[in-house]
A and B are shown apart, each in its own frame.
Chain A
Amino acid sequence: MNTKTRNLILNGLALAALVVFLYQAPGNLDRYKLRIINLIAINAILGLSLNLIYGMTGMFSLGHAGFMAIGAYVSALLILTAEQKTSMWILQPILPWLLNLHAPFVVSLIAAGLAAAFFGWLIALPVLRLGGDYLGIATLGFAEIIRILIVNLTPLTNGSLGLKGIPAHTDLWMSYGCLVAMLIFMTRLMSGNFGNVLRAVRDDEIAARTMGIDTFRTRVLAFTIGCFGGGVGGALMGNLITAIDPKMFMITQTYSLLMIVVVGGLGSITGSVIGAILVTTMLEWLRFVEEPITIGSLHISGIPGMRMVVFSMLLIAVIIFRREGIMGPREFSWSWFFPARKAEPEMKGGND
């Protein structure tokens, strides 16, 4: 059996295991655990899309929360019914054309991704001419501008009140379906020639340009695809939590995505998935430090907010002590489980 068929079979088995797990999970786990499992998938999608922008193409973007916001709002506005909309817009009436706009969930997801990608493309044209940290601060600025627009454009977005009562469409099938699609897309992308082009642009832009790569177009394309992922992730998030407001999409949201990408390993697809699992579960697990603990007669009252202190300390520690994250730029491969074959004779160089 050659490596290709072996990997195909193993991938199929892994997918089947995932399907069995997703089939069994709702019956055996409580709502809280299911929500975390859902969040892991959504965070993995978001982490992968940010990794495409930052880890794989080397564009330091701090604007992901803004694209998530666009996705979440577009999807919610398409899903909510006219009655819900009229009862929610109490400060100012909703725009008339928006009131009766309605679409099924899957359509709204695609629309969310496309809207985020469109804005990402629009923003990329001026901003991607900048490099390094200027790009970071400019994208951060755009995310803030988007947030400020959402707060102020009340007839369109219901302002700072946010949107409530979004039907909880995001179930395990939906979120893991999107994740698997994203994973297949990313592995195909990165193992193909476009992946090499992205790495070339990241590692040495001038050399890439010398090789005839249109670096600017490549960066715009990667950024736009990444924003699409951000929009879909935001829409899934909104449909999981069922309520969104502008405060959800503050810069801290981008920080946790950055944490996922950095902890997992810049440029590694596997790393982003591991990062999403670790960061999501850790953020939930850390809630214990905020809860009162009683050990015998010793009573320690909970410290609200302590979770974020620990979280930020971990981010600093990772970047100082293990900059490349868990995976570094490496990827998971089935060959890890099989002993490497002896070097085949034809691989040897020379004629001796």
Chain B
Amino acid sequence: MSLNMFIQNFINALGLGSLYGLIAIGYTMVYGILRLINFAHGDIFMLGAYFMFFATIRYKLPWAVGVLLAIAGSTICGLLVDRIAYRPLRSAPRISALISAIGVSFFLESLATVLFTGMPRAVLQPEWLMQPMLIRDGGIRLMPLGIMVPVISFILVGALLWVVHKTKPGLAMRSISFDIETTRLMGVSVDKIIALTFALGSALAALAGIMWALRYPRVEPFMGMFPGFKAFIAAVFGGIGSIPGAMIGGLTLGFVEIMSIAFFPTLSGYRDAFAFVLLIVILLVKPTGLMGEKLEEKI
């Protein structure tokens, strides 16, 4: 593989990996607090992409407005999911909430099929995102979108880390993930903080969905399924509960997927299987993930 090809693949992997990372953060935050795999998270990502599609392409709203509307819409959906499907099950066995999450995911996917039809729709990419810059005598094509995706992702992760570590609600979040009952006794409104967690995660998922739809220019009702599973795996890989871990897991997964196909093109049919193999390997070798703390088994 030539150096140009390698750099090109490196940039692609960085973009894909940071998108996985952004979705993974939503999983890791919710799992850290509620010990729940929020299966519906990938579908919030899908909704974000659809909202953006309808706002900017159907109704010709300006991009900034469309993106903001999409984020707001997805955040509301995320909050509704928590309120309707998860909050009644807070004191139930964990598996019940998990089945509810599966139901919600299935519901959002079928609802999207009914409302938006199952046909994939092409997303018209805006000109200014797609002007290719040629580097090294045209050996590498770099598009503004390709730079924007990782840059925006890293800025968002930085902002989120600041929220979690330097603000009061962030302190409450960390406290809940440590011990929910004691936090409640300290006068923290636990349900509000959990809602805030869902809102932050959904907003990030929506942004990831928007950037995903621009990168692979189409939207469809099941587009969130595989990125969702993979992002969860990224979160486990990085150590569930850890925000930097989710980002590192996402980037690792992005690099594994892009690079293994770049080096072994015959494997391209197995692309979606890599993540699951990675999951099983990490769970066997280091179940806590790269940056995770050991979750105490309560007897």
Contacts and interface: CB of A to CB of B under 8 A. Distances in A.
B88 interface: yes
Contacts of A144: 229, 272-273, 276
B99 interface: yes
B103 to A, nearest CB: 4
B73 interface: no
Interface stretch (A128-136, A161-169, A172-180, A189-197): A128-136
B299 interface: yes
B6 interface: no
B269 interface: yes
Interface in B225-274: 225, 229, 232-233, 236, 269-270, 272-273
Contacts of B103: 312-313, 315-316, 319
Interface stretch (B50-58, B126-134, B277-285): B277-285
A309 interface: yes
B280 A319 contact: no
Interface in A135-164: 136-138, 140-142, 144-145, 148-149, 151-152
Contacts of A133: 35-37, 94-95, 98
A320 B100 contact: yes
Contacts, number: 112
Contacts of B98: 60, 133, 136
B211 to A, nearest CB: 24
A314 to B, nearest CB: 8
A262 interface: yes
A149 B284 CA distance: 22
A312 B225 CA distance: 16
B185 interface: no
Nearest to A303: B114
B114 A306 contact: yes
B280 A138 contact: yes
Nearest to B278: A141
Contacts of A136: 37, 98
Contacts of A305: 110, 113-114, 118
Interface in B72-101: 84-85, 88-89, 92, 94-96, 98-100
B89 A319 contact: yes
B106 A315 contact: yes
A141 B276 contact: yes
Contacts of A141: 229, 233, 275-276, 279-280
A142 B273 CA distance: 9
Interface string A59-77: 0101000000000000000
Given A133-B95, A137-B279, A319 B110 contact: no
B94 A312 contact: no
A127 B277 CA distance: 12
Interface in B23-75: 35-37
Contacts of A323: 92, 96
A11 interface: no
Given A142-B276, A144-B272, A145-B277, A308 B110 contact: yes
A26 interface: no
Contact of A319 (B99, B109, B111, B232): B99
Contacts of A258: 99, 102
A60 B113 contact: no
Contacts of B225: 251
Interface string A289-305: 00000000000000111
B35, B98, B118 — most chain A CB neighbours (10 Å): B98
Contacts of B178: none
A104 interface: no
Given A60-B95, A308-B113, A137 B273 contact: no
B102, B118, B269 — most chain A CB neighbours (10 Å): B102
Given A132-B94, A315-B103, A145 B299 contact: no
Given A138-B279, A305-B114, A148 B107 contact: no
A119 interface: no
B35, B94, B95, B100 — most chain A CB neighbours (10 Å): B95
Nearest to B226: A144
A126 interface: yes
Nearest to A207: B299
A306 B107 CA distance: 10
A184 B283 CA distance: 37
Contact of B273 (A127, A148, A306, A315): A148
A305 B116 CA distance: 11
B287 interface: yes
B104 interface: yes
Interface in A109-135: 126-127, 129-130, 132-134
B85 A126 contact: no
A252 interface: yes
B35, B103, B284 — most chain A CB neighbours (10 Å): B103
A320 B85 contact: yes
Interface in A224-263: 251-252, 255, 258, 262
A136 B37 CA distance: 10
25 contacts: A126-B280, A126-B284, A130-B287, A132-B95, A133-B37, A133-B98, A138-B280, A144-B273, A148-B273, A152-B269, A251-B225, A258-B99, A304-B114, A306-B110, A306-B114, A308-B106, A308-B109, A309-B114, A311-B110, A315-B106, A316-B84, A319-B100, A319-B103, A320-B88, A320-B89
Given A138-B276, A308-B106, 12 more contacts: A126-B284, A136-B98, A137-B233, A138-B279, A141-B233, A142-B280, A258-B102, A309-B107, A316-B103, A316-B107, A319-B100, A323-B92
